[in-house]
């Protein structure tokens, strides 16, 4: 099993678990929870693969679907519904880092340009969470808090930069993922975010 495959499975499970918990918090039925978990976990990777002219991985890899089912079952079995707290933020941050590295690494392997690789890392990481929040009628975290997109871009750029410095791919992925986690953690701790547009009254 390749590092890229492991990253895809980890990010799928993590995003599915967070998605299922958010859906449960909104009082959705079992079908709704499963649907949100699936959308949250595979949308980013699916869009990435479409842009790269590849089949979405969940079509050909049963382990992806298994990861989603496992996350949904865990949510339903434990039945503990909670608002977005520290545990979900930790999981979401971990998923963000893993998905960013999965997206940018696949893009590099497909010989895209460096800026396309960074953007595909971003798309892989944030698409599922954005759709999750929209479908659950929650204000999208991506658009107003915690520099999620910025964290993903910085981590993906770190990965690409290290590869250009001939750093081994696995080490570059670990370092890039750590940068994502550190950047988002700092933004949460210090309540940092991008400047907001303010209209003149």
**75 with 17: CB under 8 angstroms?**
yes
Calpha distance 126→138 (Å, rounded): 15
**Hey, which of 141-145, 156-160, 186-190 has the most confident mean pLDDT?**
156-160
Instruction: Look at the block and give the residue holding tokens 């995003």.
Output: 15
What is the rounded average pLDDT for all residues in the chain?
A: 89
| pLDDT at position 193 | 77
Q: What is the mean pLDDT of residues 45-59?
A: 94
pLDDT(64) > 90: yes
Q: Which residue has the tokens 């929870």?
A: 33
Q: Tens of pLDDT along 18-49?
A: 999 999 989 999 999 999 999 999 999 999 99
Give the single-character DSSP code of 143. Answer: G
Distance between CA 44 and CA 180 in Å, rounded? 17
Q: Where are the domains of the chain?
A: 3-189
pLDDT of residue 5: 80
Look at residue 122 in the predicted model and tell me its pLDDT.
96
Identify the helix (H) or strand (E) that includes residue 195. none
Please enumerate in sequence order all residues whose Cβ is within 8 A of that of 66, keeping only pairs 6 or more positions apart, or say none.
Answer: none
Calculate mean pLDDT across residues 45-55. Answer: 95
């Amino acid at each position: 099993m390749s590092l890229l495959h492991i990253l895809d499975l980890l990010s799928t499970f993590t995003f599915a678990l967070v998605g299922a918990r958010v859906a449960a918090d909104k009082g959705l039925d079992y079908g709704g929870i499963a649907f949100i978990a699936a959308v949250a976990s595979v949308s980013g990777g699916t869009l990435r693969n479409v842009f790269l002219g590849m089949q979405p991985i969940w079509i050909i890899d049963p382990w992806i679907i298994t990861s989603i089912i496992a996350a949904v079952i865990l949510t339903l079995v434990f039945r503990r519904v909670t608002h977005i707290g520290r545990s979900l933020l930790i999981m979401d941050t971990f998923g963000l880092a893993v998905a960013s590295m999965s997206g940018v690494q696949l893009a590099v392997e497909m010989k895209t340009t460096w800026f396309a690789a960074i953007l595909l890392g971003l798309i892989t990481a944030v698409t599922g969470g954005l759709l999750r929040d929209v479908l659950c009628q929650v204000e999208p975290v991506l658009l107003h808090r915690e520099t999620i997109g910025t964290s993903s871009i910085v981590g993906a750029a770190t990965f690409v930069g290290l590869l250009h410095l001939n750093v081994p791919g696995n080490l570059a992925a670990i370092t890039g993922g750590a940068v994502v986690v550190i950047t988002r953690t700092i933004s949460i701790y210090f309540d940092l975010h991008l400047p907001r547009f303010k209209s003149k009254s």
